[in-house]
Amino acid sequence: MNASIRHRRTAALILALAAALTALPAQARQAARPAVAEPVAYGARDDVLALAAELAERHGLDPVWAADTLAQARHLPSVVKLIQPPPAGTAKNWAAYRARFVEPRRIRAGVEFWRAHARWLEEAEARWGVPPAVVVGIVGVETIYGRHMGGFRVLDTLTTLALDWPKDARRDRSALFRDELGAYLQLCRRDGLDPLALRGSYAGASGMPQFLPSSILEHATDFDGDGRADLHAGAADVIGSVAKYLAAYGWQRGLPTHHAVAEPVEVSDRATLLAPDIVPSFSAAQFAERGAVLDDAGRRHEGLLALVELQNGAAAPSYVAGTANFYAITRYNWSSYYAMAVIELGEAVQAVVEATR
């Protein structure tokens, strides 16, 4: 498996895990902070030295530098707690989730971001086909346009999750974080970064778009041509990198993200359409055969669709028919709730921008 494919799969799996935690994107829960107690450095533990040697060989790094760097990483018990899934049976609520992200503060900040960087949003759409509203929605959901980018040292979070993955977790994802830790060390050496300085989320994502290290290596772009891809303060580079990322994961120019749909009445038909989850798997005709009633645009849709269910706690679920572009947004975070929040925040910002031109 080549490095590009491995990085994409690693990033997608980690983001899927983050989405499963509370149906909230990992990047959106930046209020959490490391524990007050002083974190303990890993030092020259045998497993630290073994991991450093493995990553140095795999990524072409100086083994002494890699070992010295990992020895300075600190174990963060708070990260171990945050990465664990919510208790079984925790109810999802789209209405409550939406209210967290499609709200006045983010909309105002999004309008400011759009107006300040309209040129780059338009150029990104021309190059990669991703509309400004989608890019603006992602950056707004992730970090409120750079206002909340995370307070954990990336080296600490990745090392903690690589070496001390929760033993009682349902699945062991430590190998994925070892890959991301290796990508992080490679990134620091390539760009001359201090590995102890960069901060981000509890899952190791950083910058305004909350990219994992492998995604930075593969998708970060110097969109403004100043000689470096700055994902922390360079809005042009952030916009270009997000658009490039979505294009790499299958974004199709001019395709809507979803269509309105009335779910099937028959439980068996609904179960059949829901079985593939958010992966587009059925034609419009197959939707109709199963009793799902699409709007006019949906009935004319030529590609595959997914019946997306958004639970509303004790109330009836909401449904949309997701297209390949809806699925592309979920490559950023494996969650239909996340994708809809991105879409609706972007639409809300666009409505204000267009109404006040």
Q: Determine the number of helices (DSSP H) and then strands (DSSP E) in the chain.
A: 17, 8
Q: Using alpha carbons only, what angle is made at residue 61 by residues 55 and 62, rounded to the nearest 5 degrees?
A: 115
Query: Is residue 281 within a helix (H) or strand (E), and if so which, with residue range?
Result: none
Give 32's DSSP letter: -
Secondary structure (DSSP) of 193-258: --TTT-EE-TTS-BTTTTB-HHHHHHH---TT-SSS--TTT-HHHHHHHHHHHHHHTT--TT--SE
Asked whether the beta carbons of 215 and 204 are under 8 A apart, the reply is no
Residue 56 Cα distances to 23, 51, 165, 201, 269, angstroms: 35, 8, 21, 24, 52
Q: What is residue 299's three-state secondary structure?
A: helix
Contact partners, residue 108, CB within 8 Å, separation at least 6: none
Asked whether the beta carbons of 9 and 214 are under 8 A apart, the reply is no
Q: Per the residue annotation, which of 38, 57, 142, 354 is the catalytic one?
A: 142
Strand partners, 262: 293
Q: Using alpha carbons only, what angle is made at residue 86 by residues 165 and 105, rounded to the nearest 5 degrees?
A: 105
Burial class (CB in 10 A: 0-12, 13-18, 19+), 37: exposed
Cα separation, 295 vs 292, in Å, equals 10
Residue length of the chain = 357
Question: How many C-beta neighbours within 10 Å does residue 157 have?
Answer: 32
Strand partners, 306: 322
Cα separation, 204 vs 49, in Å, equals 21
142 is annotated as an active-site residue: yes
Catalytic positions: 142
